[in-house]
């Protein structure tokens, strides 16, 4: 996981690279993507319904601290868990 974690933890990683790993099998990688400042909304949509609670919690933290996140992302998260 070291190389992948380094990529998703890097604040300069572009959204295109983050999207590659959005379905990664390790929850930690997906949680890092949820918290990343370059994560596109389409990735947050997927992560909002992730099977791992820590990934969903990461999305919840991000959207609660960002007033620019559209309401539908909140609704996705709230309607699934």
Q: Which tens digit of pLDDT belongs to each residue from 11-45?
A: 999 999 999 999 999 999 999 999 999 999 999 99
pLDDT given at position 76: 86
The pLDDT assigned to 78 comes to: 83
Q: Is the pLDDT of residue 1 over 70?
A: no
What is the band of 81 on the pLDDT scale with cuts at 50, 70, 90?
low
Global pTM value: 0.90
Number of domains into which the chain is organized:
1
Note down the domain range covering 26: 2-80
The CA–CA distances, whole Å, from 52 to 23, 41, 55 equal 12, 19, 6
Could you tell me where the DSSP H helices lie in the chain? Answer: 2-9, 15-20, 27-35, 41-47, 53-64, 71-80
């Amino acid at each position: 996981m070291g190389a992948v974690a380094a990529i998703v933890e890097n604040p300069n990683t572009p959204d295109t690279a983050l999207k590659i790993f959005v379905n990664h099998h390790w929850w930690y990688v997906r949680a890092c993507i949820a918290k990343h400042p370059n994560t596109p909304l389409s990735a947050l949509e997927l992560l909002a319904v992730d099977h791992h609670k820590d990934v969903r919690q990461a999305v919840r933290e991000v959207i609660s601290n960002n007033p620019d996140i559209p309401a539908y992302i909140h609704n996705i998260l709230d309607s699934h868990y």
